[in-house]
Each structure stands twice: as structure tokens, then as C-alpha cells.
Amino acid sequence: MDNTWGDLTNPTVDELERLSGVHPGSRRVHAKGICCRAAFKPSGLAAGLTTAVHLREQGGEVEAIVRFSGSSSDPSLADLMSPGKGMAVRFQPAGGDVSVLTAVNVPVFFAKTPSSFIDLIKEANRLKGGGFEAIAAAAELAAHFPEARHAMAHIGKLRPPASYGACRYYAIHAFMLVDAAGKRRPAKFEWLPELEVETLSLGALKSLPEDYLERDAAERLKHAPLRFHLNIVLGQDGDPTDDPTVPWPDGRERIEGGILEVTDVIPEPDGLTMDPTVTGAGIEPSDDPILRFRSPVYRESARRRGRGE
């Protein structure tokens, strides 16, 4: 897959850099964020479906690093201005494989292939004014790119969340769960917050500090962890695994994989990269070309920021 899309890796990162310029040392998107320590408590209910260590052991506890972020490429953009939010989790089971799960607060993506992704970002750069999150541009982009229409409808409705802990996050892509006999089954992942999903009223917006989400998380974590339930949505025959722009039909079976407890804000660990194809044994990336393309792009973004570019 890298061979097919590999030549688009650098042009894609270059195009992302045009969204708001280069901000040395920052991620090329999802630039502003905070890292937290967390513990994941697997329910054991997925043990028959996957050998993934972090999902199997009922009663166990798996260390995790979580990074909450705003989707903008500009690390100085106020939290309020970037209603698209990310939650990236790196499960680090003792004696097991690291597994990364990245998720955002919309259920579908706006591009089906790496080449349409880059075309769309070029178009966003052409329409600029507000950049990546310009809600006004969403309708126009959807008109140019029919595959983006589901995602743009969701993005257009986004409002600033009350808290990173009050968003529902979707990992969007299909992954393959692999059981002990080697049987593979498609699944998607979602994080459901224990707090009620809440966005802010217009009145509240005026008085908000630029980093209100970071302050909110730090304040809440002084009193109690932020909890999220991991929903594993099981695909059925015919559900597309290679197209992140369309949702699976409603009513698919869901398993509660466990509960994540986010406990403390921590400094970002050196070299932290949330490559979504790092899944560990028991979970495999699906045939989704966007999912596979993300790996070399994240590597290139990390390489540039790691050199202070």
C-alpha cells in the first residue's frame, strides 16, 4: 500500500502545511492538544473475538496514554475555533503489543482515497480564509466532492464541546479482529463518554479563555477521572471495510470492550506518534486505503516536527 500511495506522502504533508503555515515542532494537523495518563479496564467480552492483550483480560488494567486535540494545523488557534476534536489512545499492556486507536468527534471521513484527500485539502487551501475548519466552506467542498457529503454534514453541525470529556469519538475506519483460531471479523471502535455529550451555548462562548478545554480537563481531573466506554461495533457481510466516507447501517451488534479512565494531565512523552496502523496482534488494519496511507504521512509529519521543522 505504501508503494501505491507513497509518492503522495510528501505532497500531502506539504499541502497540510499550507493550511496555516509551518509551526516548527508541531503536528501538521491536530497541532494543539494535551496528553493524559489513563488506565483501560477490559470487560473481557471481546476475548472470543480477538487475541489483542489489551482487550482480553477481564479484571486486568492496561496503562494508556491519551492525547486530546483540536483538529487545526495551527497550534495557537483558540480551542473554540476548532470544533473538530481528536482523542488518540496508545494502549501499553505489560508484556503485550502497543495498540493505537485514534478517533475524532465525527463518525465518517471526507475522503475515500489518498488522492481525493489531497485534492480536497488543495481545494480547502484555495477557499481559505478560515482554513481546515471553515464551516462556511464545508457546503462548497461537499458540492465539489460528493464523497465528502456525509462528513461535511457532520462537520457543519459541530459546535464547541463543553469538555474533551463530553464528546463521543469515532475511530471511523474498519479494523479486523483476529481470534485465537485466526478467524478475522470486521469491527469499528467508538468511545462513549460517561459525561453527557454537551456543546456550549452562544452565551458561554464570549467569556471563554483560548485554552478552555485544557483548563476544563485539568480542573475535572483534580476531582475524578474522565471515563469513556469502548464500543466495538461488529460488521456484517457486505459492510464496506475500505470506505471511511460511508457509515455502516444502524443497529449493528455492539460489544462493550471496556472502560478507559483518564486520570492525570502529563507532559507529552518524547517522540509520541499515534500511527493508527500500529494495532498489535489480534487487530489488523482493514483494506481501507486512507487508514493505510495515514501511516507514512504520520511518520513524515513526526520526522519533520522531530527535527524542529
9 binds ligand HEM (CB under 6 A): no
Q: Which of residues 233-252 bind ligand HEM (CB under 6 A)?
A: 244
The radius of gyration of the chain's CA atoms, rounded to the nearest angstrom, is 19
How far is 258 from 231, CA to CA, in rounded Å?
8
Strands (E), the chain: 33-42, 62-70, 85-92, 99-104, 169-170, 175-178, 184-193, 226-234, 254-266, 283-285
How far is 79 from 71, CA to CA, in rounded Å?
10
Of 28-36, 53-61, 248-256, 258-266, the segment contacting ligand HEM by CB under 6 A is 28-36
Q: What are phi and psi of 64, to 5 degrees?
A: -145, 155
**Nearest distance in Å: CB 270, ligand HEM:** 13
Which one among 42, 70, 83, 86 touches ligand HEM, defined by CB under 6 A?
86
Residues β-bridged to residue 36: 66, 265
3 SS3 class:
helix
Active-site entry in 30, 54, 150, 173: 30
102 binds ligand HEM (CB under 6 A): yes
For residue 169, the one-letter residue type is: Y
For residue 48, the one-letter residue type is: G
Which one among 43, 50, 51, 69 touches ligand HEM, defined by CB under 6 A?
69
Annotated ligand binding at 169? The verdict is no
How far is 220 from 223, CA to CA, in rounded Å?
6
DSSP 235: P
Site string for ligand HEM, 136-175 (x = CB under 6 A): -----------------------------------xx---
Which one among 89, 103, 158, 233 touches ligand HEM, defined by CB under 6 A?
103
131 binds ligand HEM (CB under 6 A): no
Q: Is 229 a catalytic residue?
A: no
Neighbours of 48 (CB within 10 A): 12
28 binds ligand HEM (CB under 6 A): yes
Which one among 46, 152, 290, 296 touches ligand HEM, defined by CB under 6 A?
290
Q: For ligand HEM, how many residues bind (rule: CB under 6 A)?
A: 30
Q: Which of residues 36-55 bind ligand HEM (CB under 6 A)?
A: none
56 binds ligand HEM (CB under 6 A): no
Residues 6+ apart with CB under 8 A from 155: 84, 106, 110, 133, 135, 138
Cα-based distances in Å from 233 to 67, 184, 188: 23, 14, 5
Which one among 32, 41, 54, 67 touches ligand HEM, defined by CB under 6 A?
67
Record the cell numbers describing residue 227, joined without a space: 471515563
- Using the minimum distance from each CB to ligand HEM, give the nearer residue, 16 or 62: 16
**Nearest distance in Å: CB 278, ligand HEM:** 12
Residues 6+ apart with CB under 8 A from 143: none
Residues serving a catalytic function are 30
Q: Which residues bind ligand HEM (CB under 6 A)?
A: 12, 16, 27-30, 33, 67, 69, 86, 88, 102-104, 109, 114, 117, 171-172, 244, 273-274, 290, 293-294, 297-298, 301-302, 305
Binding residues for heme: 298
